[in-house]
Amino acid sequence: MGALANLALVFVAGLLTALATGLGALPFFLVDDVSDRTSVVLWGLASGIMVSASVFGLVFEGLAEGTVMEIVPGLFAGVALVIVSHHVIEGWEVEPKQYAEADYRKLLLILGVLTVHSFPEGVAVGVSFADLNFGNGIELVGFTVPVLAVFMTVAISIHNVPEGVAVSIPLQEMGVPRRRLVWWSVFSSLPQPVGAVVAFAFVRVARAFVPFGFGFAAGAMIYLVVSEFIPEAREVGAGLPGGGRRELLAGLGVGVVVMVPLALV
């Protein structure tokens, strides 16, 4: 397969993860609200999936490709990206109810905010395709797809479902029509296919930076879990018995138990 076909496949993989976010809006077609307990469990599940995918997928693969000293700078660079991005957008206010009436400048602002959350996940998908059509893998429509790429695409797709729920909750409370909840959930993850293509192109051109790329993606995702997912779960579960710790730990445990065996295949 040519370079353009490879980029197209990586883009499709990133797009699938973005579309999976829309699944998080589907429960609102059946019920008017998602309980705090369920939300905390879902945030815990997403956190367990992301940490497992980062450690047992990206970091382990990075160690297979390079050394600890090549991965660690990538880890710190990934953390730095998220910190700097948050600092840049700090104080930006985005009113979800005005999405439908947003002008071009507002749409650019919204996309910038959402990129902070979803771009690193797209990078993780793109980096996992580094060995596309190289060596062993799964034969798929003429491509030899690395097992890690399949794992990361599935892991981030599953993780995106709770994110879709989180995006839909405030919009639903503001009266946004249910059919639009699906669109805005998917929209929140649209930077992922872009991030996937950019990361894939980079590691294919600069093969020496593959271990750094794995570390970068892992660092960004782990920091997102620590700085956003878990605090969000704690905030949502503040009114539950024990502050929702039991629900959070249950979600974390399920996420790890589900993903670790897949990572070690």
Cα–Cα distances (Å) from 204 to 71, 187, 210, in that order, read: 17, 28, 8
CA of residue 248 relative to chain centroid, distance: 19
With the CA atoms of 74, 78, 79 and 82 taken in that order, what torsion angle do they form, in degrees rounded to the nearest 10?
170
> Over 80: is that where the pLDDT of 86 sits?
no
Q: Which two tokens stand for residue 160?
A: 């995106």
**144, exposed or middle or buried, with CB in 10 Å at 0-12, 13-18, 19+?**
middle
Distance of alpha carbon 236 from alpha carbon 42, whole angstroms: 11
> How high does pLDDT run on average in the chain?
81
Question: If we measure between CA atoms, which residue out of 184, 164, 181, 163 comes closest to residue 172?
Answer: 181
Question: Mean pLDDT across the stretch 145-173?
Answer: 81
The pTM of this model reads 0.75
Question: Mean pLDDT across the stretch 249-256?
Answer: 90
pLDDT of residue 88: 67
In a 3-state reduction of DSSP, which class is residue 157? helix
Contact 217, 130 (CB under 8 A): no
- Percent of residues, the chain, with pLDDT higher than 90: 14
- Residue 93: pLDDT band (50, 70, 90) is low
Going by their DSSP bridges, the two strands 143-145 and 138-140 should be labelled as antiparallel
Q: Which two tokens stand for residue 27?
A: 């429960």
pLDDT of residue 14: 93
